[in-house]
Amino acid sequence: MQPDPSLAPTPAAPPARLPVAPAEPVLMVEHVDKSFGDNHVLRDFSLALHRGENVVVLGKSGSGKSVLIKCIIGLLLPDAGRITVLGQDVTGLGHQQMDELRARVGFLFQSNALYDSMTVRENLLFPLRRHWLRHRRAEEDALVREVLDDVGLAHTATLMPAELSGGMRKRIALARTLILRPDIILYDEPTTGLDPVTSREISHLIRAVQQKYNASALIISHDMSCVRLTADRVALLLDGRCYADGRYEELAASADPRIHEFFA
Amino acid sequence: MPNYPILAEAGGMAHFAGRFFRDGFRPRYEVSEWLYQCYVIGYQSLPLVGVTGFIMGIVLTLQSRPTMAQFGAESWIPAMVGLTIIREMGPIITALIFAGKIGSSIGAELGSMRVTEQIDAMEVSGTNPFKYLVVTRVLATTLMLPVLTLLADAIALYASYIGLNMRGVTTLALFVNNVLSRLAFGDVLPAFIKTFFFGFAVGLIGCYKGFYADKGTEGVGQAANSAVVVSSLVIFILDLVAVQLTGLLGLN
Ligand SMILES: Nc1ncnc2c1ncn2[C@@H]1O[C@H](COP(=O)(O)OP(=O)(O)OP(=O)(O)O)[C@@H](O)[C@H]1O
Ligand SMILES: [Mg+2]
Lowest mean per-residue pLDDT among A108-112, A163-167, B247-251? B247-251
Confidence of residue A116 (pLDDT cuts 50, 70, 90): very high
Please give the pLDDT value at position B27.
83
Tens digits of per-residue pLDDT, B1-20?
567 888 988 999 999 999 99
**Among A102, A116, A117, whose Cβ lies nearest the Cβ of B126?**
A102
Tens digits of per-residue pLDDT, A127-139?
988 886 677 888 8
**Among A70, A73, A115, whose Cβ lies nearest the Cβ of B118?**
A115
Least Cα distance to A105 among A184, A209, A211 occurs for A184
Residue closest by Cα to atom 9 of ligand 1: A67
Confidence of residue A22 (pLDDT cuts 50, 70, 90): low
Q: Which amino acid is at B80?
A: M
Residue from A38, A65, A220, A238 to probe ligand 1 pocket by mutation (most atoms less than 8 Å from CB): A65
Tens digits of per-residue pLDDT, A23-47?
788 999 999 999 999 999 999 999 9
Contact A109 B117 (CB under 8 A): yes
Contact B125 A114 (CB under 8 A): no
Please give the pLDDT value at position B69.
87
Confidence of residue A81 (pLDDT cuts 50, 70, 90): very high
DSSP designation for B88: I
Confidence of residue B137 (pLDDT cuts 50, 70, 90): very high
Averaged pLDDT for residues B126-143: 94
Confidence of residue B223 (pLDDT cuts 50, 70, 90): very high
Confidence of residue B82 (pLDDT cuts 50, 70, 90): very high
Please give the pLDDT value at position A198.
86
Confidence of residue A21 (pLDDT cuts 50, 70, 90): low
Query: Are residues A63 and A43 in contact, defined by beta-carbon separation less than 8 angstroms?
Result: no
Lowest mean per-residue pLDDT among A90-94, A144-148, B12-16? A90-94
C-alpha radius of gyration, chain A, whole number: 18
Quote the CA–CA distance of A209 and A54 in Å, as a whole number: 11
Tens digits of per-residue pLDDT, A220-263?
988 888 898 899 999 999 888 888 888 988 888 888 888 888 88
What mean pLDDT is reported for chain B?
92
Quote the CA–CA distance of B246 and B240 in Å, as a whole number: 10
Least Cα distance to A36 among A4, A70, A6 occurs for A70
Quote the CA–CA distance of A146 and B52 in Å, as a whole number: 51
Please give the pLDDT value at position A212.
87
Confidence of residue B252 (pLDDT cuts 50, 70, 90): low
Lowest mean per-residue pLDDT among A8-17, A246-255, B90-99? A8-17
Which ipTM did the prediction report? 0.84
Answer yes or no: is pLDDT of B184 > 60.
yes
Quote the CA–CA distance of B183 and B187 in Å, as a whole number: 6
Contacts of B128 in chain A (CB under 8 A): 95
Handedness of CA B37, B129, B10, B17 (dihedral sign): negative
3-state secondary structure of A121: helix
> From the CA of A21, how far away is ligand 1's center (Å)?
37
Rounded to a whole number of angstroms, the distance from the CA of A99 to the nearest CA of chain B is 5
Confidence of residue A169 (pLDDT cuts 50, 70, 90): very high
Rounded to a whole number of angstroms, the distance from the CA of B118 to the nearest CA of chain A is 5
Number of H helices, E strands in chain B: 11, 0
Confidence of residue A17 (pLDDT cuts 50, 70, 90): very low
Answer yes or no: is pLDDT of B247 > 90.
no
The closest ligand to the CA of A41 turns out to be 1
E strands present in A115-253: 184-188, 216-221, 233-238, 241-246
Answer yes or no: is pLDDT of A18 > 50.
no
Contact B124 A110 (CB under 8 A): no
With a CB cutoff of 8 Å and minimum separation 6, the contacts of B169 are none
Give the binding-site residues of ligand 1, using a 6 Å CB cut-off: A 36, 39, 41, 59, 61-67, 110, 189
Please give the pLDDT value at position B2.
64
Contact B126 A99 (CB under 8 A): yes
Averaged pLDDT for residues B140-155: 96
Please give the pLDDT value at position A16.
42
Tell me the HSE value of B227 on the side-chain side, using a 13 A CA sphere.
35
Contact A127 B117 (CB under 8 A): no
Tens digits of per-residue pLDDT, A64-77?
999 999 999 999 99
Please give the pLDDT value at position B37.
96
Q: Which amino acid is at A115?
A: Y
